[in-house]
Structure 1
Amino acid sequence: MNNSITNFNDILKDERAKFYLNCVNNIIKEKTSKILVCGGGVLDKAIFEALNFKYVTISNLDTRMNENEYFPFNWKFEDAASLSFENESFGFVVIHAAIHHASSPHKVLTEMYRVSKIGILAFESRDSLTMRILEKLKLTQTYEHTAVFYNDCKYGGVNNTEIPNYIYRWTEREIEKTIQSYSPYFKHKYIYRYGTAFPCTPELQRIGWFKYCFLKIIRPLSFIFFKLFPKQQNQFSFYVEKQNVKESLFPWLVIDENKNIIFNREWGKKNYKKTPEISNVFNN
């Protein structure tokens, strides 16, 4: 996270911050929406202030944070993998470049889903062929040593400890499998966006000048490559929107008189034969 970004002009100069701002602006239209930001910090405050959002709660595991830094927004000490909020407490839940710091990244995703009423928006690295090649060539990190080193060697790793976290990268299919497994009641709406930002790690390394120069040289060619293969870019955001249960429920499910979701027996009768032999197979 770039903690030097504090205003709109800073955001426009930074590729990652600009991508973040544009995605939020395009997806969350209502400025009075109640929003929870997980793993948040100064950058998140700058983004939501720049977009004139009113009701934002920024949360993080970092004990060094001071709620005064995030005024006029709220601040809460929260573990994104185990949020203290009730179901559907917020309209939207947002996380930027923080899921990969968790020891249980899928749990973070499902917790965000649980406390959101409308949808969740996340920004993470995509598990692409290009990224795997960059990892092999050591042009990008697999374990995030940089974040720990620049946090006094005490914070910034897995679950905000001093242990460098494995950088968990996602695919569209994995996101959908995670959400549909957690909430198998209807087909969710998914929106994916892709962008490019110049890798920042090589410039920070003592022997990274060669990597940095190499990436600078090939960058003009990368723009052409990414035009042809947009999913190979290193910026990736995904939005998951909840649907209206009554209108979107899968046909094999119904809502009973107690408002519980149950299996639709009539649908089952129309689609499957019922014989003693088959019943015995599934009962054993």
Structure 2
Amino acid sequence: MADPRGGFYGRVLADLLDGGLIRRDMSVLVAAGGQADRKVLLAAEFDDVTISNLDEGEAGAGLEPYGWRYEDAESLSLPDESVDVAVVSAGLHHCRSPHRALLELYRVARVAVVALESRDSALLRLGARLGAVDDYELGAVAAHGLAAGGVANTSTPNYVYRWTEREVAKTVASFAPHARHRLRFFREFELPDVLLDSVRGPRGLALRALRPAVGLVTRALPSQANLFAFVIEKPNLPRDLQPWLRLDDGRPVPDERVVGARYRIER
């Protein structure tokens, strides 16, 4: 069966490669990763990849030629800016704090963070109210024999945290307010075949029947798409420095001239 998120994942990477933001020889850390990440990154011909996860079972899952390491995405053991690119695909919503995990990826990346998650939208919220979409990921726990696959890889189904463009911008601006961040967003719609095949009864029939109509809606209104990727470029200083700051020995400090033009500075 085709994996729509995998196809979307590959297209996002291809766009970033074509645009020159990332290169195949850059070091890549994948958080909450596994075989799906290996498949996409291998197809994209990345060389230097380390796949990390809380699930030690992934270590023996045949991730070669890539490396593996045990890591909690919310508390990475790596130093600041120790890899070129940090990637997560459908992993943030398995964390107890998706924002904390995203900012950990931001901390360790030198060039960019690439995240693929679900997008919050009126259409998905309607689907949840109608029972067509899960707000808690029972399916992942079922796929792991009720032993794992939930929040922090436990057997407790995780809440499916969905993002918006504005939330990404606010999160990174709060963490690194000295910089004007360059953000890129990608959106597509697809219902996974694995979901359609695994959901039983009237709900499964309804999902299969509605698939074409929902696809038309999301093509007309991309903001309602369920596949969502966002890319956070790490700031290049002084180019991306906020206009009210200047660099002093490489450290952002208030620019007295700019601030003083707007406010009286207390002495």
Counterpart position of 1:173: 166
Aligned residue among 129, 134, 142 for 1:141: 134
TM-score, normalization by structure 1: 0.87
Counterpart position of 1:242: 234
Q: The residue matched to 2:144 in structure 1 has which SS?
A: coil
Give, as a single letter, the amino acid of the residue that structure 1 aligns with 2:76: L
Measured in 2, the distance between the counterparts of 1:158 and 1:255 equals 41
Contact between 1:202 and 1:209, CA under 8 Å: does it hold in 2?
no
Deviation at 1:235, TM superposition (A): 0.6
Contact between 2:146 and 2:155, CA under 8 Å: does it hold in 1?
yes
Measured in 2, the distance between the counterparts of 1:196 and 1:247 equals 35
Measured in 2, the distance between the counterparts of 1:59 and 1:66 equals 9
Aligned residue among 241, 257, 267 for 1:266: 257
Give, as a single letter, the amino acid of the residue that structure 2 aligns with 1:21: G
| Identical-pair percentage | 34
List alignment gaps of at least 5 residues for structure 2: none
Q: The residue matched to 1:225 in structure 2 has which SS?
A: helix
Counterpart position of 2:9: 20
In terms of Rg, which structure is larger?
1
Measured in 1, the distance between the counterparts of 2:78 and 2:248 equals 27
* 1:106 matched to 2:95: no
Counterpart position of 1:77: 70
Aligned residue among 90, 100, 103 for 2:83: 90
Deviation at 1:202, TM superposition (A): 5.4
Measured in 1, the distance between the counterparts of 2:41 and 2:196 equals 30
Measured in 2, the distance between the counterparts of 1:54 and 1:122 equals 19
Give, as a single letter, the amino acid of the residue that structure 1 aligns with 2:108: V
Counterpart position of 1:212: 204
Deviation at 1:198, TM superposition (A): 1.3
TM-score, normalization by structure 2: 0.93
Q: Which has the higher contact order (CA 8 A, sep 6+)?
A: 2
Counterpart position of 1:183: 176
Deviation at 1:267, TM superposition (A): 1.6
List alignment gaps of at least 5 residues for structure 1: 1-9
Give, as a single letter, the amino acid of the residue that structure 1 aligns with 2:170: K
Measured in 2, the distance between the counterparts of 1:219 and 1:107 equals 34
Aligned residue among 32, 56, 76 for 1:39: 32
Counterpart position of 1:227: 219
Contact between 1:67 and 1:74, CA under 8 Å: does it hold in 2?
no
Deviation at 1:109, TM superposition (A): 0.7
Contact between 1:67 and 1:75, CA under 8 Å: does it hold in 2?
no
* 1:59 matched to 2:52: yes
Measured in 1, the distance between the counterparts of 2:156 and 2:210 equals 33
Contact between 1:92 and 1:121, CA under 8 Å: does it hold in 2?
yes
Deviation at 1:59, TM superposition (A): 0.4
Measured in 1, the distance between the counterparts of 2:233 and 2:36 equals 24
Measured in 1, the distance between the counterparts of 2:94 and 2:239 equals 36
Deviation at 1:147, TM superposition (A): 1.1
Deviation at 1:68, TM superposition (A): 6.8
Counterpart position of 1:3: none
**Cα deviations by residue, 1:104-145 (Å, 9 ceiling, x for unpaired):** 110011000000011101011111000000100111111111
Counterpart position of 1:152: 145
Contact between 1:25 and 1:51, CA under 8 Å: does it hold in 2?
yes
Deviation at 1:50, TM superposition (A): 0.8
**Cα deviations by residue, 1:123-174 (Å, 9 ceiling, x for unpaired):** 1111100000010011111111121122121211111111111111111111
Q: The residue matched to 2:79 in structure 1 has which SS?
A: coil
Counterpart position of 1:198: 191
